[in-house]
Chains A and B, each alone.
Chain A
């Protein structure tokens, strides 16, 4: 047995690597053997330092708003990959594709006939009270009939190892640049292991994204110009914006670079005004156009929505997708799948209680210390209560908030997310992880094999967000499981979904 895993505490959670103490799962056997050949922890820490330095030198950083001294941090990276066998990925891919189809149909419906509301499958007040429902978009003929183009769906595994959907991110999901950079670093640090495992490549993502954006351009434009609209260099995801623009070979623009004249969008170039046809915007709806949404926004482009409505420019994601990733709307996604596709959901949600439902509300209020309570519109791990990790005062504070505004909260049981071995200061220890695959909805639905595995590096923490001390791992989706089975007796484990 490898020294490095000698004192590994398997814990009471689902462990991605170990079926039991000292017994790696079949698809981790090769990595287990490889790590067994390392001399000591210091060998591993040396590789970890090499990887960290590579990130610093490449400037793969994110910005922390509150930190004025050194505003750039690297998103901590953990060397031990999360490995997903091919048969497991096939199920995830089917489930995510199904979910994307249903969400696209839901958004199409919500901004036109609203059949799903009329038939009572989703309560109309859920839509009408949603902060992200955009009445301005009612009846709008969306280019190519695509009402949502990119989704980052967060998945977790519970104590039994079953995959569950945690939430959808249908506005401006971020993190994909880390997936691509993590792979580059792993290629340097573990080239042989990566090759021997036959890991599916992620590198076509930028090309797939560019094809999607070109697909959205107004049909009469022979050579459309695509740009990426960023809030600016001080945005926490700026590295990603710049990275993706560079990978796609498109211009990265700020609001002040764009002007609208006669309902057409132009960018200010040194020699004059150049037409723009597709905008991959990494800016929330609220900030896009101060003449329509928030008048105090300096980030947006006055007149942009007018040009959009005239069909002169395409936006990705479209305006108004947020109505479907509201954490309360999440509750209804399995019903949407049934309603629009006539299918049962392949990927299940986490059991969810809606504070807006009187029965659920009384359950929530009675069980707050056991539950996770989330504000429906917040992201990034903000505005949530993790009952078992909170003080009585914090719980009391949330109780008051939930009672005051039930529509704004949902509750879920506290799930012990699966753990994956991670390189910690002195030893390898289990840390909780989740997974965000990226789903592109263009001419066809394309899903990058894998996605961003986020890891809660603080001991015991269940919150994986980068703003809350989270890091990431490379995600290895295997091209086939032959290699895995050939090494072990018996077939792969049964996948529970």
Chain B
């Protein structure tokens, strides 16, 4: 497929996945705050501040909203603010813009699903969010994106556009799952003593639920809900589709299908980088990671994912014409 179009599909998938995960991150935080039980803590600005750092947008946030961090400011910033390129509305709007550019590739229903979603979302605001309650509102947002995936899944041919879609989706998901884990890390930072308490368990339960991972975790990991087991599950589970390892393995597969036996693309830097990261994750020792610093580990994963992204761009999208292979 056209390089430009491949890039549009790839970014469309990334933006939608990011929108979904941003909704998940807000959701997990809203739940964590509720779990703090005391009303005072819930109103504490520090309860919402971590989200801004985790999403990697702290500078933009403070520039737009000043130093006071309230639930309202964070929710507006992360869900509805068009000035924040990673807000749910910005992501869905950009994904729709990309879809508009490639409408000739998409079945009419695929486009209509996204377009209808965007048209509804663009008029929403904090009042609407508060009126429905965070959990109900965010569930609706997630359901709309899931609907898009469902329609796309049943209608897109398994040609390059599908594999670039998968590539973008899983690359973004690997990154985002690492960020969701990081929310809990920030949350716990001031009170390490809380590890192992009832509250701690409730909070890990919330993290799992925000990844729709609670049931899957319970079935695959026996025993207590604790830091080590949850981290191991979300980082390294081979079967759960939102774990980092699973996402990286899917990226590797998508790249394999894109390369599709083309001699000149075998051993390209993107495929090599994905394979390396997958192998490293497989041999990661979770207890060691935690004792060495979970945040640093997650940071490193995000950096590696960035490198894969750069390799994808230079291999398939922005390659120099002069050295390109001429196809028959």
Contact = CB atoms under 8 A, between A and B. Distances in A.
Contact of B104 (A56, A242, A268, A274): A242
B326 to A, nearest CB: 5
B324 A268 contact: yes
The 6 closest A-B pairs by CB, nearest first: A272-B325, A246-B104, A270-B316, A245-B104, A270-B6, A242-B103
A272 B258 contact: no
Given A56-B119, A246-B103, A251-B2, A269 B327 contact: yes
B100 A59 contact: yes
Contacts of A242: 100-101, 103-104
B60 interface: no
A489 interface: no
Given A257-B2, A271-B265, A57 B327 contact: no
Contacts of A243: 103-104
Given A270-B164, A271-B327, 4 more contacts: A268-B321, A270-B6, A270-B258, A273-B326
Interface stretch (B11-19, B108-116, B204-212, B223-231): B108-116
A256 interface: yes
B115 A272 contact: no
Contacts of A57: 112, 115-116
Nearest to B316: A270
Interface string B310-321: 000000110001
Given A233-B100, A246-B104, A252-B104, A272 B327 contact: yes
A299 B53 CA distance: 40
Interface residues of B, number: 31
A253 interface: yes
A236 to B, nearest CB: 14
B307 interface: no
Nearest to B107: A246
Contacts of B119: 56
Could you say which of A57, A272, A273 has the most chain B C-beta atoms within 10 Å of its C-beta?
A: A272
Contact of B115 (A59, A246, A270): A59
B1 interface: yes
A254 B321 CA distance: 16
A339 interface: no
Contacts of B115: 57, 59
Interface in A51-70: 56-59
A275 interface: yes
Contacts of B39: none
B160 interface: yes
A275 B317 contact: no
Given A57-B115, A57-B116, A58-B112, A273 B2 contact: no
A259 B322 CA distance: 10
Given A266-B326, A271-B262, A273-B326, A59 B111 contact: yes
Interface in B230-262: 258, 260, 262
Contacts of B6: 270
A176 interface: no
Given A57-B112, A59-B115, A270 B1 contact: yes
Tell me whether chain B's interface is mostly helix, strand or loop, or mixed: helix
Given A57-B116, A246-B104, A256 B321 contact: no
Nearest to A246: B104
A56 B122 CA distance: 15
B3 interface: yes
Contacts of A254: 4
A267 interface: yes
B112 A273 contact: no
Interface string B285-321: 0000000000000000000000000000000110001
Interface in B69-121: 97, 100-101, 103-105, 108, 111-112, 115-116, 119
Interface string B257-282: 01010101100000000000000000
A57 B115 CA distance: 7
A351 B317 CA distance: 55
A246 B105 CA distance: 7
A270 B317 contact: yes
A257 B103 contact: no
Contacts of A267: 2
A267 B1 CA distance: 9
A275 B2 contact: no
Contacts of A251: 2
Contact of B325 (A238, A256, A271): A271
A268 B108 CA distance: 26
A273 B265 CA distance: 13
A273 B319 CA distance: 11
B321 A59 contact: no
A275 B327 CA distance: 7
Contacts of B100: 59, 233, 238, 242
13 contacts: A59-B100, A242-B101, A242-B104, A252-B104, A257-B2, A268-B324, A270-B164, A270-B258, A270-B317, A271-B262, A273-B321, A273-B327, A275-B326
